[in-house]
Structure 1
Amino acid sequence: MKQHAVIRCLAILAAASFFCGSAGAQQAQRIVSLGGTVTEIIYDLNMQDKLVADDQSSLYPEAATKLPRVGYYRAVPAEGILSLKPDLVLASENAGPPASLEKVRSVGVDVITVSDKPTLNSLYERIDQIAQALDVPEKGKALAADIQARVKQAQDTPSESLRTVLILNRTGAKLMAGGDTTASAIMEMAGLENVLKSQHGYKPVSAESLLALKPEMIIVTKGSLQAAGGIDQFKADPAIAFTPAVKNNRIVVMDDLLALGMGPRVDLAISQLKAAAGHAN
Structure 2
Amino acid sequence: MKKIFFVLLPLTLLISSMSGAQQRIVSLNGAISEMLCSLGLESQIAGVDVTSNFPASLRQKASVGHNRNISAEGILALHPTLILGVKDELKPEVLEQLKSANVKVQLIPQAFSAEGTRTMLTEIAKVTNTVEKGKELLSKFDKEMAALKIAPTGKKVLFVYARGAGSMTVCGTGQSPDHMIKLAGASNAMTDFKDFKPLSAEAVVAANPDVILLFDSGLQSVGGVDGLLKVPGVSSTNAGKNKKIISMDGQFLSGFGLRLPQAIQQLNKKIIG
Give the TM bin, normalised by the shorter chain: 0.7 to 0.9
Aligned: 1:99 with 2:93: yes
2:159 match: 166
RMSD of Structure 2 on Structure 1 (CA): 2.0
- The within-5 A match list for 1:208-223 is 208-223=202-217
Q: Say which SS state the counterpart of residue 273 (structure 1) adopts.
A: helix
8 Å CA contact 2:204, 2:237 repeated in 1: yes
- The within-5 A match list for 1:145-164 is 145-154=139-148, 156-158=149-151, 160-164=153-157
* Cα distance in 2 between the residues matched to 1:222 and 1:94: 26
Aligned: 1:206 with 2:200: yes
1:195 match: 189
Report the CA distance between 1:244 and its aligned residue: 0.6
1:140 match: 134
Report the CA distance between 1:119 and its aligned residue: 2.3
Letter in 2 for 1:253: S
8 Å CA contact 1:159, 1:274 repeated in 2: no
2:116 match: 122
1:241 match: 235
* Cα distance in 2 between the residues matched to 1:137 and 1:239: 51
Unaligned runs of 5+ residues in structure 2 are 1-15
Judged with a 3 Å threshold, the aligned counterparts in structure 2 of structure 1 residues 65 and 26 are, in CA distance, closer, same or farther, namely: closer
Report the CA distance between 1:54 and its aligned residue: 0.2
Unaligned runs of 5+ residues in structure 1 are 1-21
* Cα distance in 1 between the residues matched to 2:89 and 2:101: 18
With normalisation by structure 2, the TM-score equals 0.87
Larger deviation, residues 129-138 vs 242-251 = 242-251
> Which aligned segments of 4 or more residues in structure 1 are displaced greater than 4 angstroms?
25-28
Report the CA distance between 1:254 and its aligned residue: 0.6
Q: Say which SS state the counterpart of residue 241 (structure 1) adopts.
A: helix
Letter in 1 for 2:131: P
Q: Say which SS state the counterpart of residue 161 (structure 1) adopts.
A: coil
- The within-5 A match list for 1:251-262 is 251-262=245-256
- State percent identity of aligned pairs: 28
8 Å CA contact 2:21, 2:44 repeated in 1: no
* Cα distance in 2 between the residues matched to 1:68 and 1:205: 35
Letter in 2 for 1:193: S
2:3 match: none
With normalisation by structure 1, the TM-score equals 0.85
* Cα distance in 2 between the residues matched to 1:239 and 1:113: 41
